[in-house]
Amino acid sequence: MSAADIEGAYGRSRNSCPAGGGGMIVVVDYGRGNLFSLGQAVRQLGAEPVISDDPAMLARAERIIFPGVGAFGDAMAGLRERGLVDPLRAAARAGTPILGICVGCQLLLTRGEEFGLHEGLDLISGTVARLPDPQADDPDGARIPNVGWRPLDVREAAPMVGVLQPDDWMYFVHSYAPMVDDENDIAATTRINGADIPVAIARGSIVGVQFHPEKSGPAGLRLLARFLETENGS
C-alpha cells in the first residue's frame, strides 16, 4: 500500500481529530514505524488517529503514540531530522500520555547500545541493551532476534496492572530491550534465555511496550484501549 493510501485511510491530514471529539490522538511518523497496522488497530477501537511528522501537532495532541522499527540510532536520527526530539520531550513534561511501541519504547530511555552508543529521549532512565544469547548447551534457548509470542510476567505493584494480565501473550520482534534503572518503572517482564527482560515500562503518563500490541490480538487491543482512555498527567 502506498503512502497516499495510508494517509487516506488513517487521517494523516494535520486537521483530523479522533472520532467522538475526545481530543487529538497523534501517531508520530518519523519514517521508522509500521503506521498501517497501528492505525488499523486504533480505528478498530473507535478512534481516528492523526498520522503526522509535524512538531506542532505534538503540542496539540491529547495522546501520542510513538511506534518504531529498525535500529535505535537510525530511529533517533529520524526524529532529529524532523525536529521531533524537543517537542516529544516537551509533551512528556506537560503530562501528555505517550505510548512507545517496540523501538519507540526503546527511544524513551536515556541511551541505546545498538551499533554503538546513542542518546535517547531520556524520558525514562535506562539503557537499551542486547538480549542475552542462548547457552550452547541449552536446547530450549531462544534465538536472537526474538520473534514470536511470549507470555508476560506482570508486576503486582507496577502501573498498568489490571490491564496487562499474567496470562497475556504478546507478539515480539526484537534483539534489544529497555533495561530501566529503576525497578519501579517495570510493569511486566518476559523470560528470555534465563533472564527476566523488561517488556512493559511506565513512569507517570509515559508508557513503553517492547511488544507490538497492534499485532497481539485481544490482549494488545485491551492495552491500546486503556491508553486511549488515559487522562493527561495520569
Contact 12, 52 (CB under 8 A): yes
Burial class (CB in 10 A: 0-12, 13-18, 19+), 28: buried
190 beta partners: 197
Contact 210, 177 (CB under 8 A): yes
The active-site residue out of 17, 102, 105, 114 is: 102
The active-site residue out of 17, 114, 118, 214 is: 214
Q: Give which of 35, 31, 123, 44 is closest to 77, Cα–Cα.
A: 31
Q: Which helix (H) or strand (E) holds 37?
A: helix 35-44
Residue 212 known to be catalytic: yes
Contact 92, 98 (CB under 8 A): yes
Contact 24, 17 (CB under 8 A): yes
Residue 214 known to be catalytic: yes
d(CA 201, CA 118) in angstroms, rounded, equals 20
Q: Give which of 83, 86, 126 is closest to 106, Cα–Cα.
A: 126
Residue 17 known to be catalytic: no
Phi and psi angles of residue 11, each rounded to the nearest 5 degrees, phi first:
70, 50
Q: Could you list the active site residues?
A: 102, 212, 214
